[in-house]
Amino acid sequence: MLLITQSGRRAHFVTVIALALVLALVTTTAALANVTLTQLNTDPYTNSTSQHKTEVEPDSFSSGSTIVATTQVGRFNDGGASNIGWATSTNGGSAWTSGQLPGLTVFSSPAGPYDRATDPAVAFDAAHNVWLINSLGLTQNGNSILGAAVVVNRSTNGGTTWGNAVTVRAVTGNQDFDKNWIVCDDTSTSPFYGRCYVQYDDFGSGNALHMEYSTDGGLTWTASIVPAVSVIGGQPVVQPNGTVVVPIDSGNEAAIGSTVSTDGGVSYSAITTITRITDHTVAGNLRSGPLPSAEVDGAGKVYVVWQDCRFRRGCKSNDIVLTTSTNGTTWTPVVRVPIGATSDKQDNFIPGIAVDKSTSGNTAHIAVTFYYYPTAACGGNHQPACQLDVGYISSTDGGASWGPFTQLAGPMTLSWLPNTTQGRMVGDYISSSFSGGLAHGLFAVANAPTGGSDCATATPNCDQALYTNQLGLSQLSGVVVTSSGDHPVPNAASDHAAPKSPITVR
């Protein structure tokens, strides 16, 4: 257990002076809070091919008082992990049990068919009372790493024991799967109650979109009819009427769009472009990209956030930005989550959004957990100056206004993080979940390696694991802020060129 006390770092906020109907820029301290962090899982493996002890890329889902989290365990430098770990609380986050999935990789107990695993995501099927952890099984042939199969591990006893991996889809021919996600329809009045949906892409075919659906608690799966598009990083959500909405990036992460199914996942619409992506390259060789994080409220409104620099002159740092939709095809203009002011130097990235499904509309409770640098320009020869923190911000009125943000963890020195071919890594995504009206962020926290200053050379003595804020958080007291007066910079552009070909991020 780790006690993190807010550092009192100064931040800028925008607040509305209602009587004057003008915006006033104020300077205030970030919220002061003693936040107790609980470590949820640890890397037990010792194979020399992975970096230990490391955990990256968590997801979570909650149903009632149960929260299930999942993460990569034992990160490989060139993709994937030794196994996928899990952690489950049945009392709203007060206590947790944890372990590693069976029958998935050669390191699992019992052993599974895959050399590595990656991209874990978790869902609950209320109709069949089954928890599902979806991941990607990888095989290795020399220096070649193949996304060999999309799989699920199932739990029928509340997320505390798990069965061996069940194949959703295995590759054929030149296929090479990447970046999967899962969701289930848990609304009892939905015409498709009990269906679960998995999204992934085929890097071997230009990041072609694939969707699958299951009607029997994840035991068997059927391929959907989908548009022929290049995509990556989708996060499907299900509205109470059974409509599936899939916010997703283009294959080169240059734009964000969505596709919709109204027939229980049998078929999906053509992609609707929501907006282009305008993002800042995060300093310090930290692995980070503008993948979406999506959630849905109790009435079916879809909320999507990602990192974007369109509100910053010169694209010198990222904000977390937000758009919403009630039908998956028409989206609101992109707004900035007011973590600070557009003139500050803070860089915000890798968000994980949660929406309390017992709330909706203009009283919807939203929480966003994210990573940030207090100073964006800390890279290059100044990499040791890049100090990585975890932040939290929330709204109780559907995103119209936000409470002050607080620091949950950090600062972390980047050399403490596992190294990958795409940079130092905490995850391509992180997560937040509500339980009992309180938000729990799920994120990787690194401490100084015990065998040296660099995780990449100190293995197996790194110290990066999955943590959460144990007691959960509501909206913090303090200055309520809004970004209603902020506007995108005219002709804003990313500070880097979009890749001309599809990318893989596993």
pLDDT at 7 over 50: no
**What share of the chain has pLDDT > 90, as a percent?**
88
Q: How far apart are CA 144 and CA 162, in angstroms?
A: 30
pLDDT at 477 over 90: no
**Residue 392 pLDDT class (50, 70, 90 cuts):** very high
Tokens of 283: 């300093």
Which residue matches tokens 């109790």?
Answer: 298
Q: What is the mean pLDDT of residues 40-53?
A: 96
- Other beta carbons within 10 Å of 477: 10
pLDDT at 19 over 70: no
pLDDT at 221 over 80: yes
Q: Which amino acid is at 310?
A: R
Helix (H/G/I), strand (E/B), else coil: 103:
coil
Separation in Å, CA 22 to CA 26, 482, 488, 491: 13, 12, 18, 25
DSSP 458: H
SS (H, E, C) 275-295: EECCCCCCCCCECCCCCCEEE
**Residue 470 pLDDT class (50, 70, 90 cuts):** confident
pLDDT at 271 over 50: yes
Tokens of 258: 């969505």
pLDDT at 28 over 60: no
Q: What is the mean pLDDT of residues 227-251?
A: 98
* Chain segment 91-150, per-residue pLDDT in tens: 999 999 999 999 999 999 999 999 999 999 999 999 999 999 999 999 999 999 999 999
Quick one: pLDDT at residue 14? 30
Q: Are 498 and 276 in contact (CB under 8 A)?
A: no
Which residues, 6+ apart, have CB-to-CB distance to 459 below 8 Å?
Answer: 50, 51, 52, 449, 451
Least reliable range by pLDDT among 329-338, 391-400, 470-479: 470-479
Peptide bond into 58 cis (omega under 30): no
Q: How far apart are CA 364 and CA 296, in angstroms?
A: 10
**Residue 461 pLDDT class (50, 70, 90 cuts):** confident
In terms of residues, how long is the chain?
506
pLDDT at 53 over 50: yes
Q: Return the closest-CA partner of residue 472 out of 364, 398, 365.
A: 365
> Vertex 307, ends 503 and 353: CA angle to 5°?
105
pLDDT at 328 over 60: yes
Q: How far apart are CA 131 and CA 159, in angstroms?
A: 6
Quick one: pLDDT at residue 478? 80
The domains of the chain, with CATH numbers, are 36-469 (2.120.10.10)
pLDDT at 22 over 70: no
Q: Return the closest-CA partner of residue 141 out of 218, 230, 213, 78.
A: 78
Q: What is the mean pLDDT of residues 194-219?
A: 98
Rounded mean pLDDT of the chain?
A: 92
Quick one: pLDDT at residue 30? 52
Q: Which amino acid is at 277?
A: I
pLDDT at 354 over 50: yes
Quick one: pLDDT at residue 269? 98
Quick one: pLDDT at residue 5? 30
